[in-house]
Amino acid sequence: MLKTKHMLACLGLMLAASFAAAQAVQTSGTLVIVPATGEVKHANDEANLTFMIEEQDKDKAAAASRVNQKMKQGMEILKRADPQAVLSTHGYYTYAVYPDEQPQPRSNGKLRQPSGWRVGQYLEMKTGNLQSLPKTVAAAQRVLALNGLRFGLSEATAKQLDAQRIDATYKNLTERIASIAKAMGRNPADAVLDTVDFEGSGNYAPQAFAAKTMRAAVADAAPVEEPSFEPGETTLDMRVVGKVRFR
């Protein structure tokens, strides 16, 4: 019994000594690296759409003519429905279509002949008129196929939010510095901010998407019900690293 009490007493003394040593650790001149983040959210106010048209015919010229005509019609519809929209065409393609045949011996020497041609083109549209977007898309879908849709923030809105994003990030940095000072047993006023390194994370950058080739079944004059869209919101974030030295 006496031996057990002696061991417990020794253990208590050792813990007390360790605690005292920890309390005696000097933090003057300590350099602390403090990461922090900040973010702001805002409703999306811009839409980027991809339309396409594709035609297939035994006559390459006939397929190309129908594509050219329908793309022109689709652009005219979009311009009437949304005069402020920015349109740009891209990705014009022409592919040979071959029949499904059994493999022939190489000694045959005959070249495969195409059974037809597939011709298509893509159209990009950028607009801030989200209120009329369903109606605009439905009108265009009478001629063109909707191949992609992405909502985001306009450049003007993103610039306006930049100051708020910086404020939120710096506020988080000062809060973390105060918490670290408290954990070290120091007064936050003793912390001297030596360096602040703002780094844009890039996570909010919209990812470029490739338009996939697909066959569009288009009815020239058939009415199309309006689609439903929810623009959602975008989060802009920022990362900062601060170097803090305690006096």
Radius of gyration of the chain (CA): 33
In order of their start, the domains of the chain are 28-45+154-216+231-247 (3.30.110), 46-97+112-152 (3.30.70.2970)
| Sequence-ordered list of residues with C-beta below 8 angstroms from that of 122, at least 6 positions apart, any chain | 50, 51, 52, 89, 90, 91, 92, 147, 211
* Amino acid 109: pLDDT: 61
* Amino acid 211: pLDDT: 33
* Amino acid 66: pLDDT: 95
* Amino acid 26: pLDDT: 76
* Amino acid 242: pLDDT: 84
* Amino acid 83: pLDDT: 95
pTM listed for this prediction: 0.66
pLDDT in tens, the chain (247 residues): 545 555 555 555 555 555 544 455 677 778 888 888 888 999 999 999 999 999 999 999 999 999 999 999 999 999 999 999 999 999 999 999 998 765 555 556 667 788 899 999 999 999 999 999 999 999 999 999 999 999 999 999 998 898 898 889 889 988 888 888 888 888 888 888 888 888 644 333 344 333 333 333 334 456 777 777 677 888 878 888 888 888 8
Q: Convert 164-194 to b/e letters by CB count within 10 Å (16 or more is b).
A: ebeebbbebbeebbeebbeeeebeeeebeee
* Amino acid 84: pLDDT: 94
* Amino acid 105: pLDDT: 59
